[in-house]
Amino acid sequence: MTETQSKFLTEYLGECWKGDIVDGICERCGTVFSTNRTFTTAQDKQDLLEAVIEKGEWDDWLDYLWDKTPVRSFSQWLIQLSPLETAKLICKWKGVE
């Protein structure tokens, strides 16, 4: 995953990107900051999918994925995608390379 993709996904979630951090504090929101997400955990995947839903983009997301499904069971394929694969697909869907 590129830094551009990580930054986009972080901001898509409404979170701060490390570029806004000075002395461990976010210049944008003032909160203490540790590290950026890796988008490799189950929680990252869950948070991304919830963000897609909350933004009202779920149907568009599913339409985008439909042609990319390599198996007969779309639901099974989506559930089995790794967190990183999910993050990368969201980037591609949004045109972030």
Going from the first residue of the chain to its last (97 residues), give the mean pLDDT of each consecutive group of 10, the final group possibly shorter: 91 80 70 79 96 96 83 81 95 94
The whole-number pLDDT of residue 9 equals 95
The whole-number pLDDT of residue 20 equals 59
Give start and end residues of each alpha helix (H) in 21-69.
Answer: 42-54, 58-66
Q: In this structure, are residues 68 and 92 in contact, taking their beta carbons and an 8 Å threshold?
A: no
Q: In this structure, are residues 52 and 90 in contact, taking their beta carbons and an 8 Å threshold?
A: yes
The whole-number pLDDT of residue 74 equals 80
Q: In the chain, which ranges are E strands? A: 21-22, 25-26
Tell me the β-bridge partners of 25. 22, 32
Residue with tokens 């950026």: 36
The whole-number pLDDT of residue 18 equals 74
The whole-number pLDDT of residue 65 equals 87
Q: Report pTM.
A: 0.82
